[in-house]
Amino acid sequence: MKKIFIDGAAGTTGLRIYERIGERGDLALLTLPEDLRKDPGARRRALNECDIAFLCLPDQAAVEAVAMVENPHVTVIDASTAHRTHPGFAYGFPELSAGQRERIQQSNRISVPGCHAAGFIALVAPLVQKGVLSPDAGLFCHSLTGYSGGGKSMIAQYEAGREDPLLQAPRQYGLTQQHKHLKEMRYMTGLSHEPIFCPIVSDFYSGMEVTVPLFARDIRGTIEDIRAIYRDLYHTPVVHYTEAADEQGFLSAAGYSGKDSMQITVAGNAERILLIARYDNLGKGASGAALQCMNLKLNMDETKGLQL
């Protein structure tokens, strides 16, 4: 039975991974007593005794944890931002290509995509690869997320502040255009420039809707060409293309809350196009993606244990 250790199991992503692995009878969880959870020696031993080490840590702590791993048979799956553009880490979004899935399966170092970045990359990378979008394209990305994406502190803020009028309306952030997901959004799409990125958090627990608008005059091809690319690429239980995904003219950002799958769709018209990805910021945007990568690495059905 494969042994799993979660370094940082007290955080939002770590807790969800812990709970879901605990429900499986084919994996063994290595755990540390509470008083040793942050002890370097105990962590080092656990990181080298397991088969899969999930890192659910702040960036610097994740870098330090990777340096502790001396056992060449340990696979590290890092949910932090630290290694998402590191050439020694496979980017954990297997649906991008057959080569991406193979790289994840063969690598002992895997980075879990950022929640906002996952949708943007799923929408943009195939279009750059197919020549529909120029690498020099100047893009805009709008992303609406549930408050659980902010971790324990933001969850506590929203759940304790129901009467605060500022929390009852959507709040835009990342106003300086320095959001930590921007580097991977450029790196994994092949774009020459980072997009203008407008993330917005709102008063619902989980779910995410990422939108990239395009003028047809700025692409090589048509809206139907884009639909065809997505239709051919995204047809798995985890990531799938859907025609006319709206709910009577609306698209709820909570539509995929609780799921580990991602829906890709295209709206708009022949002149103005909307590329849209819907998923759960805690699912395909975090713990679900991490578990999918683990399944691939262990040569299991990649959907095992996922909520689809």
Of the candidates 266, 212, 191, 188, the one whose C-alpha atom is nearest the C-alpha of residue 234 is: 266
Pairing of strands 90-91, 109-111: parallel
Q: Considering only CA atoms, which of 92, 11, 108 is closest in space to residue 50?
A: 108
What value does the CA radius of gyration of the chain take, rounded to a whole number of Å? 19
> What is the DSSP annotation of 188-246?
TTT-SSPPEEEEEEESSSS-EEEEEEEEGGGSSS-HHHHHHHHHHH-BSSSEEE-SS--
User: What gap in Å lies between CA 30 and CA 65, rounded to an integer?
Assistant: 16
CA distance 62 to 77: 10
Give the separation between CA 97 and CA 88, rounded to whole angstroms. Answer: 18
**Identified catalytic residue from 115, 141, 198, 293:** 115
How remote is the C-alpha of 124 from its chain's centroid?
15
Q: Which residues pair with 278 in a beta bridge?
A: 209, 263
C-beta separation of 180 from 81 below 8 A:
yes
Helices of type H across 250-287: none
Q: Is 77 helix (H, G, I), strand (E, B) or coil?
A: strand
Is residue 115 part of the annotated active site? The answer reads yes
For residues 19 and 216, what is the distance between their CA atoms, to the nearest angstrom?
A: 45
Active site residues: 115
